[in-house]
Amino acid sequence: RKQLIEDAGPLAEQLANEQVASKLTAQDPTLWGPDAESEAAIRLSWTTLHETSRPLVAEIEALRAELHAEGIDRVVLAGMGGSSLAPEVITRTANVPLVVLDTTDPGQVADALDGDLSRTVLVVSSKSGSTVETDSHRRIFEKAFAEEGIDAASRIVVVTDPGSPLEAASKEAGYRRVFAADPHVGGRYSALTAFGLVPSGLAGADIGRLLDEAAAAAEYLSVDSKDNPALVLAAALGGAHARGAEKVVIADTGSGIKGFGDWAEQLIAESTGKNGTGLLPVVVERPDSPDFSDAYADSTPIAIGEATNGALMGSEGGLGGQFLLWEYATAVVGRLLGINPFDQPDVEAAKKAARSLLDAPKSEPATPTFVDGPVE
Protein backbone atom coordinates (compact mmCIF):
# COMPACT_ATOMS: atom_id res chain seq x y z
CA ARG A 1 0.00 0.00 0.00
CA LYS A 2 2.83 2.33 0.84
CA GLN A 3 4.28 1.66 -2.61
CA LEU A 4 0.92 2.33 -4.21
CA ILE A 5 0.61 5.70 -2.52
CA GLU A 6 4.20 6.59 -3.44
CA ASP A 7 3.58 5.62 -7.07
CA ALA A 8 0.49 7.81 -7.11
CA GLY A 9 2.51 10.85 -6.02
CA PRO A 10 3.44 12.33 -9.44
CA LEU A 11 -0.10 11.96 -10.83
CA ALA A 12 -1.60 13.40 -7.63
CA GLU A 13 0.75 16.37 -8.04
CA GLN A 14 -0.33 16.82 -11.64
CA LEU A 15 -4.00 16.78 -10.58
CA ALA A 16 -3.21 19.35 -7.89
CA ASN A 17 -1.47 21.59 -10.45
CA GLU A 18 -4.52 21.34 -12.68
CA GLN A 19 -6.62 22.55 -9.70
CA VAL A 20 -8.93 19.58 -10.02
CA ALA A 21 -9.95 19.60 -6.34
CA SER A 22 -11.00 23.24 -6.18
CA LYS A 23 -12.77 23.03 -9.55
CA LEU A 24 -14.67 19.97 -8.39
CA THR A 25 -15.66 21.73 -5.17
CA ALA A 26 -16.80 24.73 -7.21
CA GLN A 27 -18.94 22.30 -9.27
CA ASP A 28 -17.17 23.18 -12.52
CA PRO A 29 -18.46 20.78 -15.24
CA THR A 30 -15.61 21.66 -17.64
CA LEU A 31 -13.51 19.17 -15.66
CA TRP A 32 -15.06 16.43 -17.81
CA GLY A 33 -14.12 18.24 -21.00
CA PRO A 34 -15.95 18.64 -24.27
CA ASP A 35 -17.09 15.00 -24.26
CA ALA A 36 -19.41 15.63 -21.32
CA GLU A 37 -22.91 15.26 -22.74
CA SER A 38 -24.19 18.48 -21.23
CA GLU A 39 -23.87 20.49 -18.07
CA ALA A 40 -27.08 18.90 -16.82
CA ALA A 41 -25.52 15.45 -17.13
CA ILE A 42 -22.67 16.43 -14.81
CA ARG A 43 -24.48 16.21 -11.53
CA LEU A 44 -22.23 17.83 -8.97
CA SER A 45 -24.42 19.14 -6.15
CA TRP A 46 -23.11 16.40 -3.83
CA THR A 47 -19.96 18.42 -3.10
CA THR A 48 -21.91 20.80 -0.84
CA LEU A 49 -24.41 18.46 0.80
CA HIS A 50 -22.86 18.93 4.24
CA GLU A 51 -24.36 22.45 4.03
CA THR A 52 -27.46 22.02 1.88
CA SER A 53 -28.74 18.92 3.70
CA ARG A 54 -28.41 20.49 7.13
CA PRO A 55 -32.08 21.62 7.46
CA LEU A 56 -33.15 18.00 6.93
CA VAL A 57 -31.65 16.92 10.24
CA ALA A 58 -34.22 18.75 12.36
CA GLU A 59 -37.08 17.71 10.05
CA ILE A 60 -36.14 14.04 10.26
CA GLU A 61 -35.62 14.17 14.01
CA ALA A 62 -39.04 15.81 14.46
CA LEU A 63 -40.67 13.09 12.34
CA ARG A 64 -38.90 10.40 14.36
CA ALA A 65 -40.16 11.91 17.62
CA GLU A 66 -43.69 12.11 16.18
CA LEU A 67 -43.58 8.45 15.11
CA HIS A 68 -42.17 7.33 18.45
CA ALA A 69 -44.97 9.16 20.24
CA GLU A 70 -47.36 6.92 18.26
CA GLY A 71 -45.39 3.78 19.19
CA ILE A 72 -43.86 3.44 15.71
CA ASP A 73 -40.18 2.57 16.08
CA ARG A 74 -39.47 -0.14 13.50
CA VAL A 75 -38.10 1.20 10.19
CA VAL A 76 -38.26 -0.76 6.95
CA LEU A 77 -36.54 0.67 3.87
CA ALA A 78 -37.67 -0.23 0.35
CA GLY A 79 -34.96 0.95 -2.05
CA MET A 80 -32.14 -0.36 -4.19
CA GLY A 81 -28.50 0.40 -4.93
CA GLY A 82 -27.92 4.13 -4.61
CA SER A 83 -31.13 4.34 -2.60
CA SER A 84 -30.25 1.66 -0.05
CA LEU A 85 -26.51 1.03 0.30
CA ALA A 86 -25.64 4.26 2.13
CA PRO A 87 -28.36 3.97 4.80
CA GLU A 88 -27.29 0.37 5.27
CA VAL A 89 -23.72 1.44 5.98
CA ILE A 90 -24.81 4.32 8.22
CA THR A 91 -27.18 2.25 10.37
CA ARG A 92 -24.93 -0.82 10.57
CA THR A 93 -22.02 1.36 11.65
CA ALA A 94 -24.19 3.19 14.19
CA ASN A 95 -25.53 -0.18 15.34
CA VAL A 96 -29.18 0.83 14.98
CA PRO A 97 -31.76 -1.50 13.38
CA LEU A 98 -32.96 -0.91 9.82
CA VAL A 99 -34.75 -3.60 7.80
CA VAL A 100 -33.71 -3.24 4.16
CA LEU A 101 -35.69 -4.54 1.18
CA ASP A 102 -33.40 -4.30 -1.83
CA THR A 103 -34.27 -7.44 -3.78
CA THR A 104 -37.38 -9.40 -4.71
CA ASP A 105 -36.05 -12.39 -2.77
CA PRO A 106 -39.27 -13.80 -1.24
CA GLY A 107 -37.39 -14.71 1.94
CA GLN A 108 -36.25 -11.12 2.43
CA VAL A 109 -39.78 -9.81 1.81
CA ALA A 110 -41.30 -12.40 4.16
CA ASP A 111 -38.84 -11.47 6.92
CA ALA A 112 -39.67 -7.78 6.54
CA LEU A 113 -43.40 -8.52 6.74
CA ASP A 114 -42.88 -10.81 9.69
CA GLY A 115 -42.00 -7.99 12.08
CA ASP A 116 -44.57 -6.10 14.15
CA LEU A 117 -46.44 -4.02 11.55
CA SER A 118 -48.24 -2.04 14.24
CA ARG A 119 -44.85 -0.50 15.08
CA THR A 120 -43.57 -0.20 11.50
CA VAL A 121 -42.96 2.75 9.21
CA LEU A 122 -42.01 2.02 5.59
CA VAL A 123 -39.58 4.40 3.89
CA VAL A 124 -39.88 4.11 0.11
CA SER A 125 -36.75 5.54 -1.52
CA SER A 126 -36.46 5.87 -5.28
CA LYS A 127 -34.95 8.74 -7.28
CA SER A 128 -36.65 7.78 -10.50
CA GLY A 129 -39.78 6.69 -8.66
CA SER A 130 -40.24 3.93 -11.20
CA THR A 131 -37.91 1.12 -10.09
CA VAL A 132 -40.00 -2.03 -10.40
CA GLU A 133 -38.74 -3.82 -7.29
CA THR A 134 -39.18 -0.80 -4.99
CA ASP A 135 -42.60 -0.14 -6.41
CA SER A 136 -43.64 -3.75 -5.73
CA HIS A 137 -42.45 -3.53 -2.14
CA ARG A 138 -44.50 -0.38 -1.62
CA ARG A 139 -47.62 -2.12 -2.90
CA ILE A 140 -46.98 -5.28 -0.86
CA PHE A 141 -46.66 -3.22 2.32
CA GLU A 142 -49.72 -1.12 1.51
CA LYS A 143 -51.71 -4.32 1.31
CA ALA A 144 -50.13 -5.82 4.43
CA PHE A 145 -50.87 -2.70 6.51
CA ALA A 146 -54.47 -2.67 5.27
CA GLU A 147 -54.90 -6.35 6.14
CA GLU A 148 -53.84 -5.58 9.71
CA GLY A 149 -56.38 -2.76 9.85
CA ILE A 150 -53.62 -0.12 9.82
CA ASP A 151 -54.00 3.09 7.80
CA ALA A 152 -51.24 2.44 5.25
CA ALA A 153 -50.93 6.06 4.10
CA SER A 154 -49.96 7.18 7.61
CA ARG A 155 -47.15 4.57 7.68
CA ILE A 156 -45.42 5.40 4.40
CA VAL A 157 -42.70 8.02 4.07
CA VAL A 158 -41.26 8.67 0.62
CA VAL A 159 -37.95 10.01 -0.71
CA THR A 160 -37.98 10.75 -4.44
CA ASP A 161 -37.07 13.29 -7.10
CA PRO A 162 -39.62 16.03 -7.82
CA GLY A 163 -41.98 15.13 -10.64
CA SER A 164 -41.42 11.37 -10.38
CA PRO A 165 -44.29 8.88 -10.74
CA LEU A 166 -43.75 7.97 -7.09
CA GLU A 167 -44.29 11.58 -6.05
CA ALA A 168 -47.56 11.61 -7.96
CA ALA A 169 -48.66 8.30 -6.43
CA SER A 170 -47.75 9.57 -2.93
CA LYS A 171 -49.84 12.70 -3.33
CA GLU A 172 -52.77 10.70 -4.58
CA ALA A 173 -52.54 8.20 -1.72
CA GLY A 174 -51.86 10.92 0.89
CA TYR A 175 -48.69 9.30 2.25
CA ARG A 176 -47.46 10.65 5.55
CA ARG A 177 -44.49 12.55 4.20
CA VAL A 178 -42.64 13.09 0.91
CA PHE A 179 -39.03 14.29 1.03
CA ALA A 180 -38.08 15.84 -2.32
CA ALA A 181 -34.55 14.95 -3.41
CA ASP A 182 -32.17 17.04 -5.52
CA PRO A 183 -32.12 15.81 -9.15
CA HIS A 184 -28.59 17.19 -9.48
CA VAL A 185 -27.24 14.44 -7.24
CA GLY A 186 -26.99 10.93 -8.70
CA GLY A 187 -28.13 7.85 -6.76
CA ARG A 188 -24.70 6.56 -5.77
CA TYR A 189 -23.57 10.06 -4.70
CA SER A 190 -26.67 10.56 -2.54
CA ALA A 191 -25.44 9.26 0.85
CA LEU A 192 -25.70 12.71 2.43
CA THR A 193 -29.06 13.61 0.87
CA ALA A 194 -32.52 12.61 2.06
CA PHE A 195 -31.79 9.15 0.58
CA GLY A 196 -29.09 8.48 3.14
CA LEU A 197 -30.43 10.64 5.95
CA VAL A 198 -34.18 9.88 6.16
CA PRO A 199 -34.04 6.10 6.78
CA SER A 200 -30.89 6.38 8.91
CA GLY A 201 -32.20 9.27 10.99
CA LEU A 202 -35.59 7.62 11.53
CA ALA A 203 -33.78 4.46 12.62
CA GLY A 204 -31.82 6.47 15.21
CA ALA A 205 -28.39 7.15 13.65
CA ASP A 206 -26.68 10.45 14.48
CA ILE A 207 -27.12 12.14 11.08
CA GLY A 208 -26.06 15.57 12.34
CA ARG A 209 -22.68 14.11 13.20
CA LEU A 210 -22.44 12.52 9.77
CA LEU A 211 -22.80 15.96 8.17
CA ASP A 212 -20.28 17.45 10.62
CA GLU A 213 -17.77 14.80 9.57
CA ALA A 214 -18.39 15.54 5.90
CA ALA A 215 -18.01 19.29 6.52
CA ALA A 216 -14.64 18.71 8.21
CA ALA A 217 -13.47 16.50 5.33
CA ALA A 218 -14.68 18.98 2.69
CA GLU A 219 -12.14 21.47 4.06
CA TYR A 220 -9.16 19.39 3.02
CA LEU A 221 -10.66 17.53 0.07
CA SER A 222 -11.08 20.87 -1.69
CA VAL A 223 -7.38 21.79 -1.44
CA ASP A 224 -5.22 21.56 -4.58
CA SER A 225 -2.39 19.66 -2.96
CA LYS A 226 -0.57 16.44 -3.82
CA ASP A 227 -1.36 15.34 -0.25
CA ASN A 228 -5.11 15.71 -0.71
CA PRO A 229 -6.29 12.13 0.04
CA ALA A 230 -8.92 12.24 -2.73
CA LEU A 231 -6.28 13.11 -5.32
CA VAL A 232 -3.96 10.41 -3.98
CA LEU A 233 -6.74 7.81 -4.11
CA ALA A 234 -7.83 8.95 -7.60
CA ALA A 235 -4.24 8.90 -8.83
CA ALA A 236 -3.72 5.40 -7.40
CA LEU A 237 -6.87 4.11 -9.13
CA GLY A 238 -6.45 6.03 -12.40
CA GLY A 239 -2.71 5.35 -12.54
CA ALA A 240 -3.23 1.61 -12.08
CA HIS A 241 -5.86 1.64 -14.83
CA ALA A 242 -3.43 3.43 -17.15
CA ARG A 243 -0.91 0.66 -16.46
CA GLY A 244 -3.46 -1.96 -17.52
CA ALA A 245 -5.14 -2.91 -14.25
CA GLU A 246 -8.83 -3.58 -14.62
CA LYS A 247 -9.62 -4.70 -11.11
CA VAL A 248 -9.57 -2.84 -7.81
CA VAL A 249 -9.43 -4.95 -4.70
CA ILE A 250 -10.98 -3.09 -1.80
CA ALA A 251 -9.99 -4.65 1.47
CA ASP A 252 -11.52 -3.24 4.61
CA THR A 253 -8.99 -3.84 7.34
CA GLY A 254 -11.17 -3.35 10.35
CA SER A 255 -12.30 0.24 9.94
CA GLY A 256 -15.44 -0.36 12.01
CA ILE A 257 -17.44 1.04 9.07
CA LYS A 258 -19.71 -1.88 8.26
CA GLY A 259 -20.67 -2.56 4.66
CA PHE A 260 -18.58 0.31 3.31
CA GLY A 261 -16.98 -1.96 0.69
CA ASP A 262 -20.37 -2.72 -0.88
CA TRP A 263 -21.17 0.97 -1.10
CA ALA A 264 -17.76 1.83 -2.60
CA GLU A 265 -18.05 -1.12 -5.00
CA GLN A 266 -21.25 0.27 -6.50
CA LEU A 267 -19.83 3.80 -6.63
CA ILE A 268 -16.74 2.75 -8.57
CA ALA A 269 -18.40 0.13 -10.78
CA GLU A 270 -21.30 2.28 -11.97
CA SER A 271 -19.27 5.47 -12.24
CA THR A 272 -16.39 4.06 -14.26
CA GLY A 273 -17.89 1.04 -16.05
CA LYS A 274 -19.03 2.37 -19.40
CA ASN A 275 -17.88 3.01 -22.96
CA GLY A 276 -15.87 -0.22 -22.92
CA THR A 277 -13.67 0.91 -20.05
CA GLY A 278 -13.73 0.97 -16.28
CA LEU A 279 -12.47 -0.53 -13.07
CA LEU A 280 -14.01 -3.67 -11.61
CA PRO A 281 -14.10 -3.37 -7.83
CA VAL A 282 -13.88 -6.54 -5.77
CA VAL A 283 -14.54 -6.30 -2.06
CA VAL A 284 -12.84 -8.69 0.31
CA GLU A 285 -13.45 -8.66 4.01
CA ARG A 286 -9.94 -9.37 5.23
CA PRO A 287 -6.61 -9.11 3.38
CA ASP A 288 -5.36 -12.32 4.98
CA SER A 289 -8.37 -14.30 3.75
CA PRO A 290 -8.19 -16.77 0.83
CA ASP A 291 -10.63 -14.50 -1.04
CA PHE A 292 -8.04 -11.79 -1.05
CA SER A 293 -5.30 -14.02 -2.47
CA ASP A 294 -7.72 -15.30 -5.14
CA ALA A 295 -8.72 -11.81 -6.17
CA TYR A 296 -5.09 -10.78 -6.16
CA ALA A 297 -3.93 -13.78 -8.17
CA ASP A 298 -6.11 -13.63 -11.26
CA SER A 299 -5.57 -10.07 -12.46
CA THR A 300 -3.46 -6.98 -12.09
CA PRO A 301 -5.27 -5.64 -9.07
CA ILE A 302 -4.50 -2.81 -6.77
CA ALA A 303 -5.30 -3.08 -3.12
CA ILE A 304 -6.75 -0.06 -1.40
CA GLY A 305 -6.32 -1.42 2.06
CA GLU A 306 -6.90 1.07 4.73
CA ALA A 307 -8.43 4.07 3.05
CA THR A 308 -11.38 3.52 5.33
CA ASN A 309 -9.08 3.18 8.27
CA GLY A 310 -7.08 6.36 8.27
CA ALA A 311 -4.24 5.39 5.92
CA LEU A 312 -5.11 8.05 3.37
CA MET A 313 -6.84 10.48 5.66
CA GLY A 314 -7.01 10.83 9.40
CA SER A 315 -9.40 8.37 10.99
CA GLU A 316 -11.11 11.45 12.45
CA GLY A 317 -12.72 11.76 8.98
CA GLY A 318 -15.41 9.38 10.22
CA LEU A 319 -18.06 7.89 7.95
CA GLY A 320 -19.32 11.26 6.63
CA GLY A 321 -15.76 12.12 5.58
CA GLN A 322 -15.21 8.72 3.99
CA PHE A 323 -18.31 9.06 1.81
CA LEU A 324 -17.00 12.38 0.52
CA LEU A 325 -13.42 11.11 0.06
CA TRP A 326 -14.49 8.20 -2.16
CA GLU A 327 -16.97 10.36 -4.10
CA TYR A 328 -14.29 12.96 -4.84
CA ALA A 329 -11.80 10.28 -5.84
CA THR A 330 -14.28 8.45 -8.09
CA ALA A 331 -15.30 11.67 -9.84
CA VAL A 332 -11.63 12.43 -10.54
CA VAL A 333 -11.06 8.88 -11.82
CA GLY A 334 -13.87 9.62 -14.30
CA ARG A 335 -11.85 12.55 -15.56
CA LEU A 336 -8.70 10.41 -15.82
CA LEU A 337 -10.57 7.71 -17.76
CA GLY A 338 -12.31 10.26 -19.97
CA ILE A 339 -15.84 9.26 -19.02
CA ASN A 340 -18.80 10.95 -17.31
CA PRO A 341 -18.79 9.48 -13.77
CA PHE A 342 -22.35 10.62 -13.09
CA ASP A 343 -24.44 8.67 -15.58
CA GLN A 344 -25.32 4.95 -15.62
CA PRO A 345 -26.38 3.91 -19.13
CA ASP A 346 -26.36 0.18 -18.38
CA VAL A 347 -28.51 0.51 -15.26
CA GLU A 348 -31.05 2.55 -17.24
CA ALA A 349 -31.05 -0.07 -20.00
CA ALA A 350 -31.65 -2.88 -17.49
CA LYS A 351 -34.55 -0.97 -15.93
CA LYS A 352 -36.17 -0.39 -19.32
CA ALA A 353 -35.76 -4.08 -20.08
CA ALA A 354 -37.47 -5.03 -16.81
CA ARG A 355 -40.34 -2.62 -17.55
CA SER A 356 -40.67 -3.92 -21.12
CA LEU A 357 -41.15 -7.43 -19.72
CA LEU A 358 -43.89 -6.29 -17.36
CA ASP A 359 -45.62 -4.14 -19.97
CA ALA A 360 -45.70 -6.89 -22.60
CA PRO A 361 -49.19 -8.29 -23.27
CA LYS A 362 -49.67 -11.36 -21.09
CA SER A 363 -50.66 -13.50 -24.11
CA GLU A 364 -47.34 -12.96 -25.91
CA PRO A 365 -43.96 -14.32 -24.79
CA ALA A 366 -42.03 -11.26 -23.58
CA THR A 367 -38.51 -10.45 -24.76
CA PRO A 368 -36.64 -7.74 -22.85
CA THR A 369 -35.01 -5.21 -25.16
CA PHE A 370 -31.58 -3.80 -24.33
CA VAL A 371 -29.93 -0.94 -26.20
CA ASP A 372 -27.72 -3.46 -28.03
CA GLY A 373 -30.68 -5.59 -29.09
CA PRO A 374 -33.03 -8.20 -27.65
CA VAL A 375 -31.82 -10.68 -25.06
CA GLU A 376 -31.45 -14.17 -26.55
How far is 241 from 237, CA to CA, in rounded Å? 6
Which positions from 104 through 143 interact with ligand PA5, judged by CB under 6 A? 126-128, 131, 134
User: Least Å distance between CB 166 and ligand PA5?
Assistant: 8
Q: C-beta of 11: minimal distance to ligand PA5 in Å?
A: 27
DSSP 148-166: TT--GGGGEEEEE-TT-HH
Tell me the C-alpha distance between 96 and 24, whole Å. 34
Checking 275-279 for CB contacts under 8 A at 24+ apart, the result is 275/339, 277/241, 277/337, 277/338, 277/339, 278/246, 278/337, 278/339, 279/237, 279/241, 279/245, 279/246, 279/247, 279/248, 279/333
Choice between 128 and 225, CB closer to ligand PA5: 128
Residue 301 has φ and ψ, to the nearest 5°, of -85, 165
Identify which of residues 130 and 369 has a Cβ nearer to ligand PA5 in the complex: 130
Distance, in Å, from the CA atom of 66 to the CA atom of 259, rounded to the nearest integer, reads 30
Sign of the Cα pseudo-torsion (211, 58, 166, 115, in order)? positive
Please give the size of the binding site for ligand PA5, defined by CB under 6 A: 14
Judged by beta carbon, residue 238 or residue 273, the one nearer ligand PA5 is: 273
Q: Which C-beta is closer to ligand PA5: that of 159 or that of 205?
A: 159
Minimal distance, residue 134 CB to ligand PA5, in Å: 5
Q: Which is nearer to ligand PA5, 155 or 188 (CB)?
A: 188
Residues 237-266 that bind ligand PA5 (CB under 6 A): none
Pattern 262-301, ligand PA5, x by CB under 6 A: --------x-------------------------------
Among 83, 170, 272, 340, binds ligand PA5 (CB under 6 A): 83
Cβ at position 75, least distance to ligand PA5 in Å: 18
**By CB under 6 A, is residue 344 in contact with ligand PA5?**
yes
E strands, 209-358, in order: 247-251, 280-284, 302-304
Strand 369-370 and strand 373-374: the pairing is antiparallel
What would you report as the CA-atom Rg of the chain, rounded to the nearest whole angstrom? 21
82 binds ligand PA5 (CB under 6 A): yes
Asked if 160 and 151 touch (Cβ cutoff 8 Å), the reply is no
Nearer to ligand PA5, 242 or 370 (CB): 370
CA dist 181 and 131 (Å) reads 16
Which region among 15-23, 75-83, 235-243, 244-252 touches ligand PA5 (by CB under 6 A)?
A: 75-83
5, 12, 44, 81: residue in contact with ligand PA5 (rule CB under 6 A) = 81
Least distance from ligand PA5 to the Cβ atom of residue 367, Å: 22
Stretch that binds ligand PA5, among 76-84, 211-219, 247-255, 275-283 (CB under 6 A): 76-84
Which residue, 128 or 369, is less far from ligand PA5 as judged by CB?
Answer: 128
Taking the C-alpha atoms of residue 183 and residue 40, their distance in angstroms, rounded to an integer, is 10
Spatial separation of the C-alpha atoms in residues 124 and 182, rounded to whole Å: 16
Chain positions contacting ligand PA5, by CB under 6 A: 80-83, 126-128, 131, 134, 187-188, 270, 344, 347
